[in-house]
Structures are given as structure tokens and as C-alpha cells.
Amino acid sequence: MQQTIDIRDLSFEDLEKEIIALGEPKFRAKQIWQWLWQKSVFSFSEMLNLSKELRETLTEKFSFHTIKISTTQISRDKTIKVVFELHDGNKVEGVLIPTLTRLTACISCQVGCSLDCKFCATGYLKRERNLTAGEIFDQIVLLNRLSQEHFKENLDNIVYMGMGEPLLNYNSVFDSVKRVTSIDGLGLSPSRITISTAGIAKMIKKMADDGFKTNLALSLHAATNEKRRKIMPITDSNPLELLAESLNYWYDITGIRPTLEYTVIAGVNDDAESERELVKFAKLFPSKINLIEYNPITLADYKSTSRLDQFAENIAKQHLIVNVRRSRGKDIDAACGQLALKSIKN
């Protein structure tokens, strides 16, 4: 049996051509597009302003590779972790994070990861494949429905900080952002979206050139090449000198300060020397710093530091913007660096 095309992999122009080839009027493509991205339906049968015959034809001609929620866990702090099952049986995780001021969806862009970061549970998984733009989009839709169900509010923020490296799935991430921010999609402001990367310099520049208006976060975690390559092997191909250049380029083009994500790990990057190194790197370009509480994983022998607040205080004295990100959902392995630790394997 010939494999059919996932209709959500089509551009609007390609969808128009397909609809015209079926003998339908051109405006049907607009209707279908709105059902896909604005109304976020999960089947052709829900497209009620199309004829039954057209819906049956679409079902025969195209696939509709939506995702579904496999399991959910709710933390003591009300954080919700979700295992999403993809059409081919693969699974990824997403997290709905409630705070007093916002509701944030943390979403994945790859099944597994290829970067082998030593402090991150996902880094110990094999990368199986990239997610499509539709699969990324579906995570947002389903987490928003959970937000409405549990908190009676829509999502405020989306962070591409789940499983996988967004810039190694660039096209799908770019397309998903367009769908989320378009008036024909979810209509969310780009300023409510953050793309987090382990640091691929040429792709950071490409983001700027391609007109990304989202926030950008670099997973830094150590501010010298020597220290960073021990916990992030990607440093060998993307040293800090290249990353600093690319972040300067990003700021020059977009005017958006990049955020430096820095997980503070006892005995690894939490001493006074590491503070000075971080300050020096952060002053190479306009930036903000997020200091992250380390969340232990069974796959690595790292420990959280007792110096987190002191570290933040010392950085702030250097006239830098610094925030401390406290862990949420740790009791269900939903905190930063813990995704794919248990539920993916069960």
C-alpha cells in the first residue's frame, strides 16, 4: 500500500494545488488550512463545513499524523508531565508548568537526542528521529487543553526546552513557530516563545537571518571551553568563541537579548572562578542569565549546589540581569534535565 502524505506537511501553496487537482474550488484550501492550524482539529471528520464526500476523499488521499496523550503525572506543585505517543509508536515528553504569574508549556522537538550532555537524562537516549511541525504543534494544543481543564486559563508561554535539540530540527521548529504565531494559526506573540539550544553557531545566525522574533536561550552551563566540553561534547564543534560571535550577530539583527541558561552543579561549575568566567562571557554581548537548580538523575553522579543563591548574588553585583529558576515537578521527574528519565522507558 502506497504511503500517503501527511496533509500537515504541505505548505499552503501546495495544499491549494492538491485541492484544485481534486476539482474543488480554491477557497477550500483556506478552509482546510484554518481547520488544521487555527481550529486545531485532529481528524478530517471534524471539518464540518466540507462536504462528506470531500472529507472521505481527503481521508483516502492524505494521512493525518496527530499525536495523543499516553500518560500524565501531576506533581505536588501542580506541574503536569505528559507522555505523548506519536503515530509510529515513538514517545516524547512535554510539561505544563504553572506559576503564580504564567502557564508555560515545555515541548520536545526530537525523539531522543544526539548531543550527549552529561547532566541531562535525555542526553542518554538515542536520537530516533525529528518531530514534524505538526507533532510539535500538537503538543502545544494538547498542553493548552490541559491548561484549560486544570487551571481554566490558556497557555502564556511556550519553551522549546524538552527532548532534543531544536536547531538540529530547524525546518520543523521554524514551521511550527510560524503556525503558532500566525493569525491563521494560534496567534501567539513570538515574544511568548523561547527556543533553547545547546549551541550551534551557524544555526543561531540562520535564525536571525530568517526573521525569528522569538526569545533565544543558550544552554551554557560552563563559561570556558575546557569546563564546558566535559559536560557538553558539542563544545568541540561549537566553541564559546563561535557562540559569542553568533549571539552578538543575533542581538545585532533582532535586538533581542539572548538568555544564558546555567545549571549550577556542585564541584563542577559553582565556585568563585566559575562565577568570574560566567561574568566575563556574559559581558561579551547584551544578555540575561538564568541560574538553574540542578536536578539529579540516576544516570550521572552530579549533585545540586548549596551555593545557588550566593552564586546569583555575586553575579548580580556585576551589573548583569540574573534570575534563579527553581525546579518544578521534581517529584515526577519533570524538572529541567529530567525528561525521559523514567516514563519513556516504562
- Domains of the chain (ranges, CATH numbers): 5-63 (1.10.150.530), 68-332 (3.20.20.70)
Cα separation, 76 vs 125, whole angstroms = 27
State the cell numbers at 29: 484550501
Q: Give φ, ψ of 291 to 5 degrees.
A: -90, 130
When pLDDT is averaged across residues 179-193 and rounded to a whole number, the result is 96
Q: How confident is the model at residue 20 (pLDDT cuts 50, 70, 90)?
A: very high
pLDDT-derived band at 121 (thresholds 50, 70, 90) equals confident
Q: Following CA atoms 98, 103, 108, 112 in sequence, which dihedral angle do they give, to the nearest 10 degrees?
A: -10
N-term to C-term CA, the chain: 32
Q: Does the pLDDT at position 162 exceed 50? A: yes
From CA 13, how far away is CA 61, in angstroms rounded? Answer: 17
Is the Cβ–Cβ distance between 336 and 161 less than 8 Å?
Answer: yes
Q: Which amino acid is at 63?
A: S
CA triple 24-29-35, angle to 5 deg? 125
Give the start-end residues of each E strand in the chain. Answer: 5-6, 62-63, 68-74, 80-85, 91-98, 103-106, 110-111, 129-130, 157-160, 193-197, 215-219, 259-264, 288-293, 321-325
Task: Provide the pLDDT for residue 194.
Answer: 98
The pLDDT of 156-184, averaged and rounded, is: 96
Q: Which contacts of 24-33 are long-range, i.e. CB under 8 A and separated by 24 or more positions?
A: 24/54, 28/54, 32/7, 32/58, 33/184
300: pLDDT strictly greater than 70: yes
Beta-bridged to residue 62, according to DSSP, are 5
Amino acid at the residue 226: E
Contact between 269 and 227 under an 8 Å Cβ cutoff? The reply is yes
Residue 298: how many CB atoms within 10 A of its CB? 10
Higher pLDDT, 171 or 334: 171
Mean pLDDT of 148-164: 95
Provide the strand spans (E) within 186-304. Answer: 193-197, 215-219, 259-264, 288-293
**Average pLDDT, integer, range 271-298:** 94
pLDDT band at 138 (very low <50, low <70, confident <90, very high): very high
Residue 333 has pLDDT above 50, yes or no: yes
- Is residue 29 pLDDT above 80, yes or no? yes
Which pLDDT tens digit goes with each residue over 52-92?
999 999 999 999 999 999 999 999 999 999 999 999 999 99
Active site residues: 93, 336
Q: Which helix (H) or strand (E) holds 175?
A: helix 170-181
